[in-house]
Structure 1
Amino acid sequence: MENSVELSTLEQWFEAYESATSSARTEAERARDYVDGNQLSEEEISALKKRGQPPVKYNRIRRKVEWLKGLEVKQRTDPKAFPRSPQHQEGAEAATDAIRYVCDNQDWDYTRSEVYDNFLVEGYGAAEVVHKQNRKGEVEVVINQYPWDRLFYDPHSRKSDFSDARYKGAVIWMDEADFLAEYPDRKELVQGLYADQGLGTSDTHDDRPKRAWVDATRKRIRVVLMWYRQGEVWHWCKFVSGEKLGSGESPYTDEGGESVCPLIMQAAYVGRDNERYGIVRDMFDPQDEINKRRSKALHGINSRQTMGVKGAVDSVSDMKRELANFDGHIEVNIEAFEDAARVGIKPFELMPTNDQISAQMGMFEDAKNEIDLLGANAALAGETGESQSGRAVLARQQGGMIELASLSDKLHRFTREIYRHIWMRIKQFWTEEKWVRVTDEEYGARFVGLNRPVTLEEQLGQAAPDEAQAIAMHLQLYPGDPRLQQPVAIENNVEELDVDILIEEVPDRVTLEGEIFEALMKYGPTLPPAVLIEADPVLPAKKKEKLLEALQSAQPSPQEQAEVEKTQSEVAENMANAQRLQIEAQTPRFA
């Protein structure tokens, strides 16, 4: 039975999150701005324009983030289900196909990349694995991704996967028409929200740019979906300012029947005050220095320091403008030069500033080097600057990969949890016969039946002829017997399958394997084909397995091999005798 929490408490929890995470969310918004190239304040842009200098930015952060996102794309792998007992060996393949079907149907690869983008920049991301009924009445497993600025969580949570959070959820902005289609009896509530214009405590979750529970201009309403834990049971509640829209216990359970929350969240890093942040935080200062040092150096190159006696030039400001022009011309007063010569001083001179410009450029290069060493470094990217062996490149890449191991491990854990929840939803809601279309690079498109009833006729057809005949005689079956069409078993019954979901994500090894393959190719004709197939770094593992099986099946048995060798020996002997007889016939005979 539901043990619901009062709406006032839920609203307090939501406001507690907004209050406790204010500075962290401001920093997250700054991180996104820096990735987007918004790295200069209005005051800085105004100062640059005032001195006639363009607001130039060298966005090194975007390159870092894009490189890491590209690495994630390159390391994508498919889930694999392994049986926990021998009796589920065949069913594990069906479980694998079912999970891959959901991933393909929901475009999971793209969703994971979107979550990883938030994970790297703002510091955390999330996806929700739920179910819905389509128009045909079939239950589909759905993966929803929420942008980071639509998420909230228990600010007392300390773990990077939010497993210790008492509550978490998402903010959903809905058009008024969609809201009333889902809640047709809440028209008065909407009008009340427009009139009240209840303001939130921050603008992070706002429907840009207005900070409120409703947007009267666009006719949009902010709805909060909160998942919270009471003891060991998860509950949900949808609400707007001052009123619940719906609530209840979580409809989702794990393999053991325990209540679970379908919203899976993951953070990159967790600070001392439980704030979540990504890799961009460490790039703020180097990026600022890159922009400012470059701007300072550019300003210094276009500027000149001068020294002279009073009256050496008619106007100092005009003289400065002429110095800024490539074809500038400065006129000096001869009287000032004569007066200066009498006392032995220089009346006018340009002061050298090369040392200042060199210092600025040196610190500019230091800042670039610092940001280049963060995250995706040259070694990991394989940019060695010179021709090196594949083994040397791999060694450098493995050294660079250590820095990313923590991020990769968290993404791996998040992905595995998504796959696990997909399998939970399948086991819980796919109770009827279902056919899934699976596409892979090995077999193309194929169909897999889940919860498929097996008739007595099919079962007898799969049995050995003697065994099938014995069963038919025992049951006194006759041709056309209606009992033959009765289901006697369920094939790939997902509710009974007991599997582990595993994934493998490893650094790219093509460099070293390619070098080994090239070395083996030198001995190509003398090596068995199986060795070359195993060493090929380009062939996928499934394709290798298929080729090796075909190669093995094509090889003759020992008895057949012996007969082939005997035949080859006989043929060789016959050819030798024929050649000998031909030579004897052509050889002259002397009496």
Structure 2
Amino acid sequence: MKAKKLPFSKLDKESKLEEAKRRLDYARTMDSDTQKEFREDFGFYDGTGQWTKEDRDILKEQNRPCLTFPVCKGSVDLVVGVNSSNPVRMVASPVEPSDGFLCEVLNDVVEWVSDENNFEDREEELFESVVICGRGHIALDFSIDPKRFGEIILNESVVPVHEIRIDPASRERDGSDANHIFWDRWVTREDFKIRYPEFADRVDEFMETGRASSFGESPDPKTDENIFDDLGDDDDYDRPIDANYYDLKKDRVRVCHMEYWEAFKRHVAFNPETQEWEEFDPENIEQLKVNYILKYKTPFEYNTMMDKKVKWLQFIGDEILYDGDSPMPYDGFSVVTSIANTDPSRRSNNHFGVIRLMKDPQREINKRWSQALNLLNNMVQPGTDIEDGAVPDIDQYSEARKTPGGVGIVSSGALRDGKIKERSAPQFPSAPMQMEQMSQDIIRKITGINPDLLGQDSGRQEPGVVVQTRQRQGLILLQKLFKEHKRVRREIFKRVIAIISKYMPDGQILRILGGNEKYQIENGMVINPKNGMAAAIRDIRNLKFNVDIEEAPGNLAKDMLQLQVFMEMMHAGFPVDPKTVIEKLQLPATEKQRWIEYIDAQQQAQAQAAQQAQQLEAQKVMAGIQTEAKKVDGDIAVKTAKVRAQAQKDSTKFAHDREREDRKFVIDAAKLDHEDSKMVLDAAAKFAALRNQGNRESRPNGNN
């Protein structure tokens, strides 16, 4: 009957060590092809591996130059530079609004730790590795500070890709589905003694004699003192590391570090006082039941759930150095893995970066340049056609032609009879250079690095916004790299905060904050003198926060873009604060301050001059108003006199006209009376005449 296989964590010491070595060998085997690709990727970056040994032999046989033009290195450096010139930082943001001050304090502590230990440089090295080969690793650890006893030092180190072996079954880009990870860690003898003081005596014996009582697997010093003596630094790429655990030349010890997940059962119960579910130790469950009944008068009820935690196993030879829970206060491996590109089918762990896609065009560039130079050499010396017997010693003649000023001996009459004829130089073909240019264009298309991204002049003046838009378009293919780098930095930030919260003593935190002008330290309290906010340093341990990403101060790319926009606005006539422009310039702080002070002085002088000019203008306006008022008063007086004179004149004229009208009326009345009298007289005369005529007609004839 086949024996039941126990879980890794349940194995005894000897079986666990054997199983760990088996898993390590399997991980090396499954990763060997990828590691060879990685070695070639780095060789293409630094220019040492762009020609294979077979190609070099062929070129040497043909007397052709082995030219190397690492175009891909400039592309990688540009991508890394773009990432460095657009810095972002991780910040802790409060879950509760009242915790804003504590988050600010925590962010300042993390920033100090990062600056003190050069975390930014390490993370840039990680990004460079990811861009080149597609994979990178960074390890976070802490140790006791020997200079300040009781304080800790946080260490962040970039791990070479050939020292890490990840779980072959892992497929996720962030490694979240990896069951284990191995680190072939080579440390100096002194660092080994500090980390494992109980093995200090035996490691000296092991390093000096090649033998030890417990380390076991070591070579025989009589036959092979150190199997690594004849191996180069790149041997790990060519074949897996064998069972040797020391290197005399470098005075280093190989420690195999394994991290793996182990499932375990959690016990949680509801606390009536805090109204929350809390975890408890199952070893004290019986006592908890009794106490719970006595205190709350109800039975103790609890739930169980499965979870997993990280455990460490470190060994050298057949000796286990450490076997237990991870000392890191967070869920996850201490080695953070970053992957650029992976097999989209998820059938393999084929990881690759930018260089992998540029290899063929890069090879083509080198070969075409070599071919073009070889053609030029052949065109300069196209050769000579010689009839048989025209030259008595062909070797002497050939050597003389190659030597400047050499004399070649020919047979008598050979030159006269035309037995020696120089070959005509062929026309240089354009195809090699066209192929080389096409290869460079292909590299740009593959990587997305266009001339605008390279900063090349397009030959025409264009607005900065247009140039930036094309640069962003060129970076679309690289967004995956930048996004992955932000994810890794977020993971590192969480781990740093976890270590600070659990292991960094209050005194060290207060010492760090004491050097910050923003805070005052009083009796374990951190105080912001500007707004009076205060908090106990112990409250950082239980702070709940989220991790946000914000642009870091001094973002060069953003500042230059804004500067360009401001300059275009000023050129177009829009008002722009000159101090804002100075802030965007890449000048030392003292120079910026001097310029700002100069601008303030100029603005103040201009303001004073403008105020004086305004006062003078106001005085001129008042004087004009007074003059105008006097003029108006004079005009009013003149007009008043004229009105009065006109009125007087009009009054006199009116009197005369009235008198004249009255006289005319009297005359007219007199005339009317005269006419009326005349009419009466005329009527009386006519009546009298009629009367006399009537009297004569009534008389007798005798009267005739």
Does the CA-based 8 Å contact 2:506-2:537 persist in structure 1? Answer: no
Counterpart position of 1:264: 336
Q: Which residue of structure 1 aligns with residue 493 of structure 2? A: 419
Aligned-partner Cα distance in 2 for 1:172–1:195: 17
Separation in 2 of the partners of 1:458 and 1:42?
Answer: 66
Aligned equivalent of 1:381:
454
Measured after TM superposition, the shift of residue 427 of structure 1 is 2.2
How far apart in 2 are the matches of 1:46 and 1:182?
48
**Counterpart residue type for residue 543 of structure 2:** L
SS state of the match for residue 314, structure 2?
A: strand
Is the CA contact (8 Å cut-off) linking 1:382 and 1:397 kept in structure 2? no
Q: TM-score, normalised by structure 2?
A: 0.63
Amino acid at match of 2:259: W
State yes or no: 1:148 paired with 2:161.
Answer: yes
Residue 97 of structure 2 is matched in structure 1 by 86
Aligned counterpart for 1:160 among listed residues 173, 179, 188: 173
CA gap of 1:366–1:139, structure 2 versus 1, over 3 A, is: same
Specify whether residues 4 and 124 from structure 1 end up closer, same or farther in structure 2 by C-alpha distance, changes over 3 A only. farther
Structure-2 separation of matches of 1:436 and 1:396? 48
More displaced, 150-159 or 136-145? 136-145
* Aligned residues of 2:361 and 2:439 also touching (Cα < 8 A): yes
CA 1:57/1:211 → structure 2, altered by over 3 Å: closer, same or farther?
Answer: farther
Contact 1:169/1:263 (<8 A) preserved: no
Amino-acid identity (%)? 22
Helix, strand or coil for the counterpart of 1:196? coil
Using the TM superposition, give the Cα deviation of residue 365 of structure 1 relative to its aligned residue in structure 2, in angstroms.
2.4
Which structure has the highest helix share of the two? 2
Distance 2:453 2:45 in 1: 21
Residues 365-420 of structure 1, C-alpha deviations (whole Å, 9 max, x = no match): 22233334443332222314313321221122111011211111111111121112
Supply the AA of the counterpart residue of 1:224. C
Task: Output one character per residue of 1:226-257: Cα deviation in whole Å (capped at 9) or x when no partner.
Answer: 11111211101111122211121112334xxx
Q: Which residue of 2 aligns with 1:170?
A: 183
Query: Quick one: structure 1 residues 81 and 194, their matched pair in 2 at CA, closer, same or farther if it must change by over 3 Å?
Result: same
Q: TM-score, normalised by structure 1?
A: 0.74
In 2: Cα distance, 1:449 partner to 1:426 partner:
20
Is contact 2:102-2:535 (8 Å) kept?
A: no
Instruction: Determine helix, strand or coil for the equivalent of 1:428.
Output: helix
How many angstroms does 1:90 deviate by? Answer: 1.9
Q: Distance in 1 between matches of 2:170 and 2:618?
A: 84
In the TM superposition, 1:339-488 aligns within 5 A as 350=423, 353-354=426-427, 357-375=429-447, 376-389=449-462, 390-430=464-504, 432-433=506-507, 434-435=509-510, 437=512, 446=517, 448=519, 453-454=524-525
Residue 42 of structure 2 is aligned to residue 32 of structure 1 = yes
- The answer to whether structure 1 residue 109 and structure 2 residue 109 are counterparts is no
Cα drift, residue 197 of structure 1: 3.1
Query: Which residue in the other structure is 1:473 paired with?
Result: none
Q: Following TM superposition, by how much is the alpha carbon of 1:509 offset from its aligned partner in structure 2, in angstroms?
A: 4.3
Distance 1:453 1:218, change over 3 A: closer
Distance 1:539 1:81 in 2: 30
What's 1:224 paired with?
256
The 10-residue stretch of structure 1 (231-240 or 308-317) with the greater mean CA deviation from structure 2: 308-317
In structure 2, the residue matched to 1:514 is 563
Q: C-alpha displacement at 1:352, in angstroms?
A: 5.4
Q: How many residues align?
A: 519
Question: Is residue 544 of structure 2 the alignment partner of residue 498 of structure 1?
Answer: yes
From the superposition, tell whether residues 242 and 309 of structure 1 become closer, same or farther in structure 2 (CA, over 3 Å). Answer: same
Query: How far does residue 76 in structure 1 lie from its aligned partner after superposition?
Result: 2.0
8 Å contact from structure 2 (residues 28, 240) kept in 1: no
Q: 1:98 to 1:180 in 2, by over 3 A?
A: closer
- Contact between 2:41 and 2:132, CA under 8 Å: does it hold in 1? yes
Please state how far the C-alpha of 1:176 moved relative to its aligned partner.
Answer: 3.5
* Distance in 1 of aligned mates of 2:437 and 2:396: 34
Q: State the Cα distance separating 1:142 from its structure 2 match.
A: 3.0
CA distance in 2, matches of 1:316, 1:125: 60
Deviation for aligned residue 1:98: 1.8
The CA deviation string for residues 193-223 of structure 1, in whole angstroms up to 9 with x for no partner, is 58723989x9428999999322245543210
Q: Which of 131, 134, 141 pairs up with 1:123?
A: 134
**What's 1:474 paired with?**
none
SS in structure 2 at match of 1:493: helix
Mean Cα deviation higher: 391-400 or 133-142:
133-142
Task: State the AA in 1 paired with 2:541.
Answer: E
Over aligned residues, Cα RMSD in angstroms? 4.6
Q: Determine which of 69, 92, 98 is the counterpart of 2:80.
A: 69
Listed as ranges, the matches of 1:4-19 within 5 Å are: 6-19=16-29
Q: For residue 560 of structure 1, what is the aligned residue in structure 2?
A: none
Closer/same/farther in 2, CA of residues 279 and 520 from structure 1, 3 Å limit = closer
Cα 1:368–1:247 change in 2 (3 A) is same
SS across alignment from 2:138: strand
Q: Which runs of 5+ in 1 are unaligned?
A: 341-345, 464-487, 555-567
Query: Greater CA deviation, 179-188 or 292-301?
Result: 179-188
| Structure 1 residues 219-298: aligned runs within 5 Å | 219-231=251-263, 232-254=308-330, 259-271=331-343, 272-298=347-373
Q: Letter of the 1:411 partner, please give it.
A: H
Q: 1: CA distance between counterparts of 2:556 and 2:168?
A: 34
Give the superposition deviation at 1:158: 1.2
In structure 2, the residue matched to 1:564 is none
| Secondary structure class of the residue paired with 1:275 | coil
Cα distance between partner residues in 2 of 1:208 and 1:164? 25
Return closer, same or farther for 1:528/1:217 CA change in 2, 3 Å cut-off. closer
1:20/1:311 CA distance change after superposition, 3 Å: same
SS at match of 2:542: coil
Shift of 1:281: 1.2
Deviations 1:17-60 (A, max 9, x none): 11011111111111112222213344544554555554332121
C-alpha change, 1:295 and 1:454, in structure 2 (3 Å) is: closer
